[in-house]
Amino acid sequence: MGRSAPTLRVAVRRELERLRRVARAERDPRIRRELERLLEGGEILLDAFGSGPEFPTDAWEVALLGVIVGLALRVAELERAFFEGSRSRASTDV
């Protein structure tokens, strides 16, 4: 890996830590908990973005896309659980 990858990694973590401070300052515990959960996904794409010059090197972009990917994974997990539950209820109704 080139020299820019560790720098990007540090920059992304710095931005995520700034956002975590915002989450910790939130008074509503439900909002704070959800913000913290969202930020857990922020580092998901660090390796992908650090592997070549054609990838963006903006820390915000990497962190934001990581959060979005984390959300997408959570939604997919919920959909899978929902549909599995629907199928098992349908089979017991017969």
Supply angle C-alpha 85, 91, 92, rounded to 5: 90
Which residues, 6 or more positions from 40, have their beta carbon under 8 angstroms from its beta carbon? 70
The 8 Å CB, 24+ separation contacts for 49-55 are 49/8, 50/1, 50/4, 50/5, 50/8, 50/9, 51/1, 51/5
pLDDT in tens, 27-59: 999 999 999 988 888 888 877 776 666 655 688
Q: Is the pTM of this model over 0.85?
A: no
- Convert the pLDDT of each residue in 4-28 to its tens digit: 555 888 888 899 999 999 999 999 9
